[in-house]
């Protein structure tokens, strides 16, 4: 079962497990109080960060102090609190200005430091099963090098590999490695999922997202 918490354009998810629950992403300072209240109904033992951007990992240190164990990809190790170690590029011309603003903001705006309890490496896709969750970790590099998603049944929780930020399915506006991001989009299309749960905005059906992804990939292939 998946539950979601959406506030200030940020969406975090809880996946229920057989030995406690998993929180996926942690929100911002301004979402903390309401999220903390929402989390009371769960027994969060684990927190998976889809990637180490501040709008996803801001409350990680707090949750760890409260007893949760943190999981993050080793490929985002140096990105924590240092946005510019993986500078982002606009994924389409209309995001150039937004991207420039993002780079300036990212440089000054740092989440509190934390040390993950588990560093994800290649081949760790089955980790969540060993922790009691009916889910698999799917590498979705591109937005950041360490970006991961969680596959649960026919739902993919995809972090910022795709977005519903503007209340419609769209390509994530920024990526560190655009070619890798495109490969991750191809992987998402091949997964046979029916729903995407993004890090921003509400869950969206794959039927709505698929044509947007396919059109973007087509436009990238044009000479
Ligand atoms: Zn991000």
Which of 133, 136, 144 minimizes the C-alpha distance to 184?
144
H helical segments located in the chain: 29-39, 54-57, 60-65, 96-108, 127-130, 178-190, 206-221
- State the distance from the centre of ligand 1 to the C-alpha of 174, rounded, in angstroms: 8
Could you tell me the residue range of the domain that residue 16 belongs to?
2-221
- State the distance from the centre of ligand 1 to the C-alpha of 21, rounded, in angstroms: 23
- State the distance from the centre of ligand 1 to the C-alpha of 53, rounded, in angstroms: 5
- State the distance from the centre of ligand 1 to the C-alpha of 176, rounded, in angstroms: 10
- The average confidence (pLDDT) of the chain is 95
Residue range 175-199, pLDDT digits in tens: 999 999 999 999 999 998 999 999 9
- In the chain, the largest separation of any two C-alpha atoms, in whole Å, equals 52
Q: Does the structure show a pLDDT above 70 at 142? A: yes
Query: How would you classify the pairing of strands 155-159 and 174-175?
Result: unpaired
Q: What is the dihedral of CA 101, 103, 108, 114, to 10 degrees?
A: 130
Angle at 176 between CA 22 and CA 137, to 5 degrees: 25
Residue range 18-73, pLDDT digits in tens: 999 999 999 999 999 999 999 999 999 999 999 999 999 999 999 999 999 999 99
What DSSP element (H or E) covers 3?
strand 2-7
Q: Where does the pLDDT of residue 223 fall: very low under 50, low under 70, confident under 90, or very high at 90 and above?
A: low
**Coil vs helix vs strand at 129:** helix
Alpha carbon 2 to its chain centroid, in Å, reads 15
- State the distance from the centre of ligand 1 to the C-alpha of 126, rounded, in angstroms: 24
- State the distance from the centre of ligand 1 to the C-alpha of 102, rounded, in angstroms: 10
Q: Any idea what the CATH number is for the domain that residue 96 is in?
A: 3.60.15.10
- State the distance from the centre of ligand 1 to the C-alpha of 204, rounded, in angstroms: 18
The domain total for the chain is: 1
Token pair in block for residue 8: 């200030």
- State the distance from the centre of ligand 1 to the C-alpha of 160, rounded, in angstroms: 5
């Amino acid at each position: 079962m998946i539950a979601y918490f959406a506030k200030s354009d940020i969406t975090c998810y809880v996946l229920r497990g057989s030995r406690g629950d998993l929180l996926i992403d942690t929100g911002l300072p301004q979402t903390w109080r309401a999220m903390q209240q929402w989390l009371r109904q769960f027994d969060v033992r684990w927190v998976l960060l889809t990637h180490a951007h501040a709008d996803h990992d801001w409350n990680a240190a707090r949750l760890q102090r409260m007893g949760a164990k943190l999981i993050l990809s080793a490929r985002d190790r140096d990105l924590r609190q240092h946005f510019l170690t993986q500078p982002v590029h606009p994924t389409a011309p209309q995001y150039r200005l937004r991207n420039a603003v993002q780079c300036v903001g990212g440089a000054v705006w740092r989440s509190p430091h934390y040390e993950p309890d588990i560093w994800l490496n290649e081949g760790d896709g089955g980790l969540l099963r060993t922790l009691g969750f009916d889910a698999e970790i799917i590498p979705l590099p591109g937005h950041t090098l360490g970006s991961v998603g969680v596959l649960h049944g026919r739902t993919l929780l995809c972090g910022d590999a795709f977005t519903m930020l503007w209340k419609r399915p769209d390509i994530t506006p920024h990526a560190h490695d655009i070619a890798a991001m495109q490969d991750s989009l191809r992987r998402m299309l091949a997964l046979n999922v029916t729903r995407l749960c993004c890090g921003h905005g509400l869950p969206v059906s794959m039927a709505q997202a698929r044509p947007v992804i396919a059109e973007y990939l087509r436009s990238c292939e044009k000479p």
